[in-house]
Amino acid sequence: MSLPELPKRAIGIDVGGTGIKGGIVNLRKGSLSGKRVRIPTPKPATPQAVAGVIGEILTELLSREKAPALDELAVGVTVPAIVISNEVLTAPNIDDSWIGCRTTELLKDLPGRTFTLNDADAAGLAEARFGAGAHRDGTVMTVTLGTGVGTAIIHDGVLVPNSELGHIEFEGTVPAERIVSAAARERLEMPWDEYGELLRRYLKHLERIQPVSTFIIGGGISKRSEDFLPFVTGLRAEVMPAQLTNNAGIVGAGLYAAEQSRLADFRNSEQ
């Protein structure tokens, strides 16, 4: 028996350090249907406070004409942490109270079926399927450079979640994100050429751990890729800037939720 087609639309919510962004995702095109909604991240960003904001965003999106039907609604939620089976296991850049949070339980009163995944995994999935990695064979690794460093490994379109290669040791520093993130570049007032050179060495290091065919550089900093990517040379893999930039997390979250929802139905039907 083969898997049924995905519904046309899903909802993606990207939980970041400063803003929580949501949108209706067109799953055929890998783009947003209509404008995205953004609400500042509550402080402290506890699971309950964030769940309240997710509820507000869903209410707004579901009031739209192009909203997915409630009976097939899949909602994907990203968090900047390791997530296994909808349980958050770490919290390097969010409130500590997320550790051990089971998000299906946390979000159970919200409409739709919710699925949670790592933020970089969501962005990487969207880039690999619809963005810079579309139609590329082999292993595509997206590296998001922001407050932290996130990584996503996608092999022939399939996500291998929670790679977390921003947390490895690099040139004597643990975690690597302490010197490689976009926030570190600003904090250390690093010129672009120096940052490009650092990134080249970091990607070279990643290649030793996980050889890939393509690196995609994501995060807000990818808008400035012409300032640093020219210095990222001599790698085996091709290095490209992300294409979906701001919306990659939302699109990937929606796609992940729709696929997980379909998989759950399929497994139930097999029992």
CA distances from 83 to 87, 117, 163, 182, 246 (A): 5, 6, 11, 23, 22
Q: Which of residues 53-92 bind ligand BGC (CB under 6 A)?
A: 80-81, 92
Among 133, 166, 218, 249, the residue binding ligand BGC under the rule CB under 6 A is 166
127 makes contact with ligand BGC (CB under 6 A): no
Contact window for ligand BGC (CB under 6 A) among 4-12, 27-35, 114-122, 196-204: 114-122
CA distances from 90 to 157, 164, 213 (A): 26, 11, 29
252 makes contact with ligand BGC (CB under 6 A): no
CB 113 within 8 A of CB 11: no
Closest listed residue to residue 201, CA positions, set 226, 171, 225, 239: 171
Closest listed residue to residue 247, CA positions, set 95, 99, 52, 25: 25
14 makes contact with ligand BGC (CB under 6 A): no
Contact window for ligand BGC (CB under 6 A) among 56-64, 129-137, 144-152, 188-196: 144-152
CB of 121 to ligand BGC, least distance (A): 7
Give the CA diameter of the chain: 58
CB of 177 to ligand BGC, least distance (A): 6
CB of 82 to ligand BGC, least distance (A): 6
131 makes contact with ligand BGC (CB under 6 A): no
Contact window for ligand BGC (CB under 6 A) among 35-43, 101-109, 116-124, 209-217: 116-124
Tokens matching residue 159: 């996500």
Q: Give the interface size with ligand BGC as a residue count (CB under 6 A).
A: 15
CB of 118 to ligand BGC, least distance (A): 5
Among 26, 86, 118, 261, the residue binding ligand BGC under the rule CB under 6 A is 118
CB of 79 to ligand BGC, least distance (A): 8
64: which residues sit within 8 A by CB, 6+ positions away? 24, 34
177 makes contact with ligand BGC (CB under 6 A): yes
Contact window for ligand BGC (CB under 6 A) among 51-59, 141-149, 200-208, 260-268: 141-149
Beta bridge mates, 141: 153, 215
Exposure string over 9-46, b if 16+ CB within 10 A, otherwise e: bbbbbbbbeeebbbbbbbbeebebbeebbbeebeeebb
115: which residues sit within 8 A by CB, 6+ positions away? 74, 75, 76, 77, 86, 256, 257, 260, 261
Contact window for ligand BGC (CB under 6 A) among 60-68, 129-137, 164-172, 258-266: 164-172
40: DSSP letter: E
CA pair distance 148, 92, nearest whole angstrom? 9
144 makes contact with ligand BGC (CB under 6 A): yes
> Binding residues for ligand BGC, per CB under 6 A?
80-81, 92-93, 118-120, 144, 146, 148, 150, 164, 166-167, 177
